[in-house]
Amino acid sequence: MSTISIEVVYRGIFQKSLAKNICRGIVLAARKENKVGTAFGRYGDSPERNGVPAKNFAVVSDTAEELEASLAKYEPNEVDVSIAVDDTLCKGVESWAWYGLQPINKLLKPNGTLLVTANRTPEDLLKHIHKKEYPYNLAIVKGMASFSGLWVYKDDHTDVRILGALLKICPGLVSFKSLEQAILEEWKNELKVTSARKSYESVSVRKVQPTEGSDEVPFEFEKPGWKEMKEGVAIPGIPLGKEYHSEATGQTGGYKPAVNPYYKKYSARTMRPVVLFDKCIKCTLCWLHCPDSCFDVTPDGHYDVRLESCTGCSICADVCPVDGCITMVNEAFFDDNASEYEAWKKDKTTYVASVTEKIKNPQATLRSHGYRHRGQYQEEIAQEKEASHGSKG
């Protein structure tokens, strides 16, 4: 076996326990076979804000020497398996604006496997996954984005389902018997063993060729070397904003605030605000309450969300006093961060028809980025089942 490295990419805070459980389960199972391993997180608590992508790793080796050699770096340079526990992470991850956007498959070895929890087809996922220069595998564990393990939510077995699928796609890791022993020791639940076995038997795997995937070039930032740093401590201020110029109408007016060019936090988003401008009463509440100053004031007094900066926190939708004016819609239903206002002004009929179709789709508005009230998770599971039955009918 030598050494096998696995990364789990998860939504900060919301899925931290889930990622930890998966990596811990991997190492516990490996130790049942006298292998050595370790599980660790890439980040501490500071960057694990709501929804911001973060990583956990599990590294398993035959000997302590091999493990030590593998860990003599900040994080693995390449991994055998990348696990994305939220399918919207397939668009790529950006944690601190250190690197720019990192494709979800960036660290995968040739013929490695990207394992995703999703209720979508491989073809749907590949619309957003960046192309790789060599073949790899795409595996899917069927299910909605999970908060399994977070202390206030029900355990839906996503952790062990991923572990079961992992053994199918990475047979050299450990035997299922060892995983079974680890599950019974850690969770003391026979039903979890059954869930892991069902996932082992049902996980689907598809070979992805270099010609498949998104052609998008991920944005990146040029970091100055230490010799190029200025003397003293100085933080350049963000310049003042300017008037909004509409490409669709040619009008200029309103106000477009300047934003930090390195703050492109859309990869933190599982849901995005969709605005029906005809319903807007121009009350300013979305603009005033947005914590990241994402809204631009248009020449005619509407408010256009700057989607590259939007984290999908849903505050704008919460404070909007007009029913149906701002709706949070699943990020997986969009392919870009283009201006909603410009699309509306360019062709109102097409824009309204397009967003209305998404808003009315139960799968598009099913999930939130977090939770507002006790029992919401159970409600979403029930809605997921209802939507699933409806699509089959």
The pLDDT tens digits of the residues spanning 97-113 come to: 567 899 999 999 999 99
Residues 173 and 308 in one domain: no
Supply the pLDDT for residue 313: 85
- pLDDT of 301 > 70? The answer is yes
Residues 387 and 265 in one domain: yes
Q: Is 173 exposed, middle or buried (0-12, 13-18, 19+ CB in 10 A)?
A: buried
Residues 246 and 131 in one domain: no
Residues 380 and 262 in one domain: yes
Mean pLDDT, residues 152-161 taken together: 83
Residues 86 and 195 in one domain: yes
In a domain, 150, yes or no: yes
- The DSSP-derived string for 98-154 is SSSPBPTTTTEEEEEEEEEEESS-HHHHHTTSBP-SS-EEEEEEE-----TTSTTS-
Residues 167 and 263 in one domain: no
Distance separating alpha carbons of residues 263 and 250, to the nearest angstrom: 28
Give the domain extent around 386: 242-392
Torsion angle defined by CA atoms of residues 196, 71, 103 and 332, in that order, rounded to the nearest 10 degrees: 30
- pLDDT of 258 > 90? The answer is no
Supply the pLDDT for residue 322: 97
In a domain, 100, yes or no: yes
- pLDDT of 229 > 70? The answer is no
In a domain, 235, yes or no: no
Stretch (H or E) spanning 97: none
The strand pair at 108-118 and 79-84 is best described as parallel
In a domain, 213, yes or no: no
Supply the pLDDT for residue 207: 98
- H-only helix segments in the chain: 16-31, 64-70, 122-126, 158-169, 176-186, 190-202, 285-289, 315-319, 340-346, 348-360, 376-392
The strand pair at 53-61 and 79-84 is best described as unpaired
Supply the pLDDT for residue 365: 82
pLDDT above 90 covers a percentage of the chain that reads 60
Out of 208, 226, 250, pick the residue that ends a domain.
208
Residues 158 and 201 in one domain: yes
Residues 154 and 274 in one domain: no
Residues 106 and 45 in one domain: yes
**How many structural domains are present in the chain?**
2
Question: Which of 12-26, 109-123, 138-152, 222-236 has the largest mean confidence?
Answer: 109-123
Q: How many helices (H) and strands (E) are present in the chain, helices listed first?
A: 11, 13
**pLDDT grade for 382, boundaries at 50, 70 and 90:** confident
Residues 72 and 24 in one domain: yes
Contact in structure between 57 and 7 (CB atoms under 8 Å): yes
Q: Lowest-confidence range among 40-44, 69-73, 163-167, 239-243?
A: 69-73
Residues 247 and 204 in one domain: no
Contact in structure between 178 and 29 (CB atoms under 8 Å): yes
- pLDDT of 212 > 80? The answer is yes
Distance separating alpha carbons of residues 212 and 209, to the nearest angstrom: 6
Out of 161, 188, 208, pick the residue that ends a domain.
208
End-to-end C-alpha distance for the chain, whole angstroms: 46
CATH code of the domain containing 85? 3.40.920.10
Residues 263 and 187 in one domain: no
Taking all residues of the chain, what is their mean pLDDT, rounded to a whole number? 87
- pLDDT of 45 > 50? The answer is no
Distance separating alpha carbons of residues 23 and 390, to the nearest angstrom: 35
